[in-house]
Amino acid sequence: MRTISAIRIATALAVMLLRAASAVAAQPAPAADAEVEIDQFAFIPQRITVKAGTTVTWINEDDTPHTVASSSKLFKSKALDTQDKFSFTFTTPGTYAYFCSLHPHMSTHLNVAARP
Ligand SMILES: [Cu+2]
């Protein structure tokens, strides 16, 4: 009888450990944040692909004000002066076209990939 209860306790402990391990594994790793510079009237890098959940931060490195405006009006920054930043967190996979509303020829897009 003593052996059977020891096995039961060992089994219960193993189940608890497995549950704890799977709870940790179920936590998605935080997506690395991404940065896009605005320089010489261009977004650099021109194209990026990030994972869903990523916060993208644009930094204006130009002497000229620029904005970051989504073509679908999902987001729009104020006019960014030199060294000003604007951030947006992309939660849904897809292609997001954006441009500078002050210089509309500054247009590009970024891709948001599903998380594995
Ligand atoms: Cu601009």
Residue 19 pLDDT exceeds 90: no
Ion ligand 1 neighbours (CB, 5 A) are 66, 100, 102-103
CA 46 / ligand 1 centre spacing (Å): 14
CA 68 to chain centre: 16
CA 96 / ligand 1 centre spacing (Å): 18
- Classify residue 61: in a domain, yes or no: yes
CA 103 / ligand 1 centre spacing (Å): 4
What pTM value is reported for the model? Answer: 0.74
110: three-class secondary structure by DSSP: strand
Averaged pLDDT, 32-42: 96
- Classify residue 29: in a domain, yes or no: no
- Classify residue 3: in a domain, yes or no: no
The model's confidence at residue 32, banded by pLDDT at 50, 70 and 90, is confident
- Classify residue 69: in a domain, yes or no: yes
Residue 47: domain span? 34-113
Q: What is the CATH number of the domain that holds 61?
A: 2.60.40.420
Q: From start to end of 11-115, where are the E strands? A: 34-39, 42-44, 49-51, 54-60, 69-70, 85-90, 94-100, 103-113
76: three-class secondary structure by DSSP: strand
Residue 14 pLDDT exceeds 60: no
For residue 107, what pLDDT is reported?
A: 97
Q: How many domains does the chain have?
A: 1
- Classify residue 27: in a domain, yes or no: no
CA 32 / ligand 1 centre spacing (Å): 26
For residue 44, what pLDDT is reported?
A: 98
pLDDT (tens digit, 9 = 90+) per residue, 81-98? 999 999 999 999 999 999
- Classify residue 24: in a domain, yes or no: no
- Classify residue 51: in a domain, yes or no: yes
- Classify residue 11: in a domain, yes or no: no
